Amino acid sequence: MGRNSSSQQKPKLRKGLWSPDEDEKLLNHITKHGHGCWSAIPKLAGLQRCGKSCRLRWINYLRPDLKRGTFTQEEEDLIIELHAVLGNKWSQIAAHLPGRTDNEIKNLWNSSLKKKLRQRGIDPTTHKPLSEENMSLTNTDERSPTGTYVDNKCTATCSYKTTPVDMFLLDDNVPNPFGNISFPLSSHGFEVNSGFGYENAIPNIPSVVHQDSSSESLGFPNVANSIWCDMRHDCSFFDSNHLPWIEEITTNQDDQVGVGMGTGMGIGIGIEADCLGQSLSLPIEMQNHTISLFDESKGLNMTQQLF
DNA sequence: AAGAGACTCAACCGCCAGACT
DNA sequence: TAGTCTGGCGGTTGAGTCTCT
């Protein structure tokens, strides 16, 4: 088929910005009939656009569930955390921000977030310090002056707090609160091979935390196997939208230990335990791909390899 | 007030993978 | 099995807007 005959059969497709009239046609059509086959939409909706263009316009602008307006600080922090894990997988990042599009996030990253990270001395590509001279760090596994840990394998930063955060401790009589939760980073959990936890209690994250009978090596008698953590405060990409049950958890069940930990780039912040009625707080530190628990007074010093 | 440069963001382009023929 | 179609994705572009001098 020659060029001429082709151009005679196909009307010339419009390009560039969409007019309000075109928007209305596309919106009306999809509202009434759904989008179905995108390549058929232009003809059915009376538009001189290609199917791809219609799809893009719908996804990035016309979709009714889009969130308008500027990104919140929480959203920006979440994008940075996710980018550290996922890289330029904008669609996967967008999947964790309801109402935001991959295009929008990509634009934000390229126009603003990259610059902010550089200003903080962080390479936006690797999420490592831009220059060791500038950061007064000689080892990326050490805590930075701003209280941030940078892990040299997972290549991300993790907010650090020295104080224990609200932990919630469960026992076997407490219903599993994770039952209906869609976990935000389902494919990027890290693995803790021993210590604490409740295997398979978090759906969609296989083996994030394993139960391990060696828990007693920590020195806590009767350590239960129901150990959970508040990721909302520790890791900025966990928020109450993802963990709506958080306010309802009963804390400080006797004879149990709570462990703070995150997944993906978010690594544990604190540990709070209530053993035999004695409250105990411990820091967790992350270095060299490990998570460590320390308490000199209890003779506790455990380091767990994460990766 | 005006011009230049920086910034924003909507949209396009090319590539890829999966479905279908 | 190979070719074609389609949808989805990330990279890039460029027009419009904003900010600074």
Find residues whose C-beta atom lies within 7 angstroms of strand C: A 37-39, 51-52, 55, 88-92, 102-103, 106-107, 110
With CA of A35 and C1' of each nucleotide, the nearest comes out as C7
- Inform me whether the pLDDT recorded for A196 exceeds 60: no
**Any strand B atom closer than 7 Å to A56 CB:** yes
Q: Are residues A100 and A128 in the same domain?
A: yes
Amino acid at A278: Q
A41 in any annotated domain = yes
- Say yes or no: A74 and A127 in one domain: yes
Q: Give the residue nearest to nucleotide B11 (CA to C1').
A: A16
Q: Which residue is nearest to nucleotide C16 (CA to C1')?
A: A17
Which position has the token pair 């560039």?
A: A16
Is there a domain that residue A27 lies in?
yes
**Which residue among A132, A156, A183 closes a domain?**
A132
CA A52 → C1' B14, Å? 13
| C-alpha–C-alpha distance, residues A214 and A218, integer Å | 8
Chain A residues 176 to 195 whose Cβ lies within 7 Å of strand B are none
Q: How far is the CA of A111 from the C1' of C17 (A)?
A: 14
Task: Please determine, for residue A120, whether its predicted confidence score (pLDDT) is greater than 90.
Answer: no
Distance CA A289, CA A277 (A): 33
Q: Say if A177 falls within a structural domain.
A: no
A74, A122: one domain: yes
Q: Which nucleotides of C are covered by protein (CB under 7 A)?
A: 5-12
On average, the pLDDT of chain A sits at 53
Q: How many CA atoms lie within 13 A of A202 on its CB side?
A: 27
Considering the domain boundaries, does residue A271 fall inside one?
A: no
Residue A102's pLDDT band (cuts 50, 70, 90): very high
Percent of chain A with pLDDT over 90: 19
Q: What is the tens place of the pLDDT at every residue in A24-56?
A: 999 999 998 888 899 899 989 999 999 999 999
pLDDT > 60? residue A78: yes
Same domain for A116 and A92?
Answer: yes
CA–C1' A52–C7 (A): 8
Query: Is residue A81 one of the residues assigned to a domain?
Result: yes
Among residues A97, A113, A132, the one where a domain terminates is A132
**Does A70 score more than 60 pLDDT?**
yes
Residues A54 and A20 in one domain: yes
Residue A106 and residue A74 share a domain: yes
Both A24 and A56 in a single domain? yes
Q: Is residue A151 part of a domain?
A: no
In a domain, A261, yes or no: no
Helix (H, G, I), strand (E, B) or coil at A291: strand
Span of A38-52, A179-193, A290-304 with lowest mean pLDDT: A179-193
Residue A128 and residue A74 in one domain: yes
Contact present, A115 and A130 (Cβ < 8 Å): no
Q: Which nucleotides of B are covered by protein (CB under 7 A)?
A: 7-14
Beta strand extents in A77-217 (DSSP E only): 148-151, 156-159
Residues A74, A39 share a domain? no
> Which is nearest to A102 in space by CA: A55, A45, A39?
A55
What are the DSSP calls for A37-81, one per residue?
SGGGHHHHHT--S-HHHHHHHIIIII-TTPPPSPPPHHHHHHHHH
Residue A102: which domain range?
Answer: 70-132
The separation, in Å, between residue A107 CA and nucleotide B5 C1' comes to 19
Higher pLDDT among residues A125 and A280, named by residue: A125
**Res A58: pLDDT:** 93
Between residue 100 and residue 119 of chain A, the positions with Cβ below 7 Å from nucleic chain B are 103-104, 106-108, 110-112, 115
Exposed/middle/buried for residue A169 (C-beta within 10 Å: 0-12, 13-18, 19+): buried
Which phi and psi angles does A265 have, rounded to 5°? -90, -15
Which of A48-57, A79-88, A150-159, A170-179 comes out lowest in average pLDDT?
Answer: A150-159
Of A73-87, A152-166, A266-280, A287-301, the one with minimum mean pLDDT is A152-166
* CATH number, domain with residue A75: 1.10.10.60
Q: What is the mean pLDDT of residues A171-192?
A: 30
Instruction: Count up the domains in chain A and report the number.
Output: 2
Question: How confident is the model over A271-283, as a mean pLDDT?
Answer: 30
Mean local confidence (pLDDT), A222-251: 29
A43 lies in some domain: yes
> Which of residues A64, A87, A106 is at a domain's end?
A64
Reported pTM: 0.53
